Structure 1
Amino acid sequence: MQSLHIPLMDHTLGTMTQATVAFVPHESMHDLTARFPTIAAALWRDTLIDAAIFREWLIAMGRRPAFEHLAHLFCELYLKQEAVGLAGEHRCPLPITQTDLADATGMTAVHINRVLKEMRGRGLITLHRQTLVVKAWDELVRASEFDATYLHLQMRT
């Protein structure tokens, strides 16, 4: 979708786990959105939510301390996976390494290791077999000053 109205993307996409990818020609998307305005509206909504997430990440990169940043990321990842049925009971897949977390947050792997150790020590999380378990959700939310409003996960009628 990010290349639908801009002929050249300024970034690449990749997956960290196995994924199924479909390529839909731009002409087909233009026709689809012209014929079905509700689909166009859903795509616009998704674009606006992406922008909200980007803004939240800009704040995280520039203003949040490492502990708060990583805690915020864990809250976001959990809620997004829960919304699509991939998580529940404060457990979610986290099939990435400390190096991946470091790359995503602009920290070093050593620093990520220290923050994870602190989170474990405070009884907030466990990581085992590529699964994140949030043992103290309310405390993790409080520690990260997490407000899920930007994700717009409320049910729509």
Structure 2
Amino acid sequence: MGDGGTADLSVNGTYTLGPVTETNSIAGFTPDNSPANSPGNVNGLGFFNLSLNNFDGFHDTATKITFTLTNTSGIPWLTDADVLAPNGHDAVAAVHAFACVQPGCSTDSGAFVTGYGGGGTPNGPPPVELSVPEPQTLALLGLGLVSLMLGRRQRMA
């Protein structure tokens, strides 16, 4: 994660951001550990009131970012799900991700691809499961094959 929109959250209410720690498990990368918190719109994923932005691009990426939020809004955070609230695009989190091929990933190799990703409402409806009508499909296929065989027998006779 790195550059503009490194890690973004739609926090439910006002907050105080505690110390931010960034690490990268791949040798040679130097996360800046002091990303600016610049709330704003993140690449079509909506407005995030917590938006950590690293200083530079691929060289300063992090594979892990940790921080503490302190609720200052008076809105109780009784559960984990209470901490985040969907923004206008129904997203609660976003990242600016850099993909790097392993083994051999280095600051010299560059990112294979980079882009933004986000979404997910913590209390949203469950995904709709669509069932595939396998028995009906197989029955129709079987009837079609039987019809072909009967038609072929009639032509031979």
Which structure features the higher share of strand residues? Answer: 2
TM class by shorter chain equals: under 0.3
Which structure features the higher share of helix residues? Answer: 1
Q: What's the TM-score once normalised by structure 1's chain length?
A: 0.21
Q: What's the TM-score once normalised by structure 2's chain length?
A: 0.21
Name which one, 1 or 2, has greater alpha-carbon Rg.
2
